[in-house]
Amino acid sequence: MNQSNKRIIVGGWKAFAEEAGVNKKEPVENFDWIPSEEDKVYYNDMRTALDTVEGSREFVKNYVYVKDTLSFGGPIGNSLAKASSVGHSGASASAILWSYQNALKDWDTFVFKTKEHESLREYKKQQVPIWQVENLLMDCHACIFDSIWYRADAAKLEEKIKLECAKLCFTGTIREIKIVLEEILNDLNMIQRNEDNKRAN
């Protein structure tokens, strides 16, 4: 596993999300904030198509799927497909329309969830993994406890912990390191629980 981009992000997901602008509101139907250039093209193209087809926003916003029919089928849906300049398969056109429906129904929630999804993926790429946090915490506990009885061993362990943390772009005393790592562990466990719940649902 490549660890070259991993670091200890102090403050965890909350700090990372704030810096990434997850909670920042965006102008309605402005997609400049979307990191994927390909997705940005699709959204902007669909916005232009919606502008050209009368009644299309209400149609998309209020559309309810009918079993055994093509998603967003009918005269307005067909007109949107023709007005789109991006080549779509049936599935990709439906996918962008379902996403756009979310944007039309509740823009702020759409922005937040889209940013959260993208930023969370980036956060997990950069944040130190949970197994490494747990290993470092065990060493911190041992270092603090053993320093009472085995000062020489504790000093070696402290040096090892600080060296490993420095490689992960973080420095501090053992107790400071322990506090930061405990916050990160709680953070990563919470993210994992949320992801498990989403999969279950």
Nearest CA-CA partner of 84 in 56, 113, 104, 126: 56
Does residue 178 sit within a domain? yes
Q: List residues bridging with 7 in a β-sheet.
A: 127
b (16+ CB within 10 A) / e for 134-151:
eebbebbeebeebeeeee
Look up the pTM and report it.
Answer: 0.82
Tell me: the pLDDT tens digits for 23-37?
Answer: 999 999 999 999 889
Tell me: the pLDDT tens digits for 70-111?
Answer: 888 889 988 988 888 766 555 677 889 999 999 999 999 999
Regarding whether 140 and 191 lie in a shared domain, the answer is yes
Regarding whether 109 and 184 lie in a shared domain, the answer is no
Regarding whether 141 and 101 lie in a shared domain, the answer is no
129: Cβ contacts below 8 Å, ≥ 6 apart:
1, 6
Regarding whether 97 and 36 lie in a shared domain, the answer is yes
How far is the C-alpha of 55 from the C-alpha of 57, rounded, in Å? 6
Last residue of a domain, one of 125, 144, 174: 125
113: domain range?
Answer: 23-125
Nearest CA-CA partner of 10 in 146, 199, 176: 176
Does residue 30 sit within a domain? yes
Regarding whether 188 and 115 lie in a shared domain, the answer is no
Regarding whether 166 and 82 lie in a shared domain, the answer is no
How far is the C-alpha of 167 from the C-alpha of 65, rounded, in Å? 52
Regarding whether 81 and 142 lie in a shared domain, the answer is no
Regarding whether 117 and 34 lie in a shared domain, the answer is yes
Regarding whether 80 and 133 lie in a shared domain, the answer is no
Nearest CA-CA partner of 96 in 79, 112, 81, 111: 81
Last residue of a domain, one of 109, 125, 141: 125
Last residue of a domain, one of 91, 125, 159: 125
**Residue type for position 14:** K
What's the number of domains the chain is made of?
2
- pLDDT of 90 reads 55
128: Cβ contacts below 8 Å, ≥ 6 apart:
6, 7, 8, 9, 168, 184
- Band the pLDDT of 124: cuts 50, 70, 90: very high
Does residue 136 sit within a domain? yes
Regarding whether 31 and 70 lie in a shared domain, the answer is yes
Q: Please compute the mean of the pLDDT values over residues 155-163 and round it to a whole number.
A: 91
In contact, 97 and 79? CB cutoff 8 Å: no
Say what percent of the chain tops pLDDT 90. 69
Query: Which residue has 């973080």 as its token pair?
Result: 170
Regarding whether 193 and 139 lie in a shared domain, the answer is yes
Q: Which two tokens stand for residue 190?
A: 């919470």
Q: Which two tokens stand for residue 27?
A: 């102008």
Tell me: the pLDDT tens digits for 111-121?
Answer: 999 999 999 99
Does residue 74 sit within a domain? yes
